[in-house]
Structure 1
Amino acid sequence: MRSDARANRDRILAAAEEVFGELGATGSTEDVARRAGVGVATVFRHFPTKRDLLGATVVRHFEHLTSYARAAGSEPEAGAAFRALLSTMTERGAGKIVMLGLLIDAGGFTEGALRASAALRTEVDASLRRAQGAGAIRTDVTVDDVYLLIRGLSLAAAHPSIEPSATGPALRVVLDGLAAGAAAPRPAPDATAT
């Protein structure tokens, strides 16, 4: 791919992430083209269908987070790197939730999106294990727990009634709960005991 075509493709994908993250299903290819500063024909030349555009946008989103996670893996403070990764994923999560819903509505996950998602999960798990090995994060936490927490915060942030400023304090509560030394959950009381 020529460098100008690659630059156009990158601008289109960045614009698509913004447009669909902000406008959801009402976002159009024309909105993406306008925001990217290209013609609609250029968008269609790169992405013949909306599903192609959404799939590539989701892949780009996951790949950026995976690169971030890999770079954070070389940081000397594993706990701080893990907390920064969770913060970044949560901050960008609301837009991702919207894009994933649109992609499912447009025909389901693409193979590229599934591969990119799996690669990110592998890096998140590695970051979690490094932080646990450094004694910064509770050892009973799994990558499934982490994803559930990120998804919950992201869904909340995507809801129109939630102020964007509410996510920060909620994330701090989650990070405090993940910290090594935080109280492990107690089993629920047995309702049948007397």
Structure 2
Amino acid sequence: MKGHLEKVEGGFLYFHSGGAGKLKVAWKYVLSLHVPESFAVLEKGVHIRQDRPNLRVPEGPFEVKGQILTVSSVSGAIRVPIGKITHIIDAKTYEKTVYGNPRLWQGWTGSVSGGASFVQSTQSLETFNSSIALVRAIPVVSWLEPDNRSILGFTSTYGSIAQPNTPTISTGIYHGNAEQDEYFPETSMPLSRHSMTITQLLG
């Protein structure tokens, strides 16, 4: 089969073939493979952090015969058992991800929601709600060791009750929180954690 290898992840090879389209193939079905493009081969137990490349990660074209993958790196041929491989990433993506630094506004995920309700009867009731929950985990790929995580949250509830010949009653509750975690090298345990919570009640 001829095609272009995109990546290897979770024990599967992801190909793009002109005739068959995108393919997902398990390692056990691969008897031999020749890839002329340069890829980075990641093994179990090899830790990589943002801006700190690991010299134990071989890069280069590779071929597979049986249960052995051989990388033609600049330092010579490096043999890696298939069972020890966790990821294979094209060299350009690997270097861009390892050496790159996401900008402050990049890498955020989360949700924003809002709602309102109105009731008109003897009393007039208005309620407004909003919520923002954001998380930014750096790096954004699973094969790099965690470096830091930022969490931002904000919720608000505002309501008012009005009826004839009485003052309008308004109530507002605003809650905000922020957290910043820094991680130990080669672990998933936070090295330091800074958090702040603010709640304000207006009535």
Is the shorter-chain TM-score for this pair beyond 0.5, marking a shared fold? no
* Relative contact order, higher structure (CA 8 A, sep 6+): 1
Report which of the two structures shows the higher radius of gyration computed on alpha carbons: 2
TM-score under structure 2 length normalisation: 0.31
Structure with a larger share of its residues in helix: 1
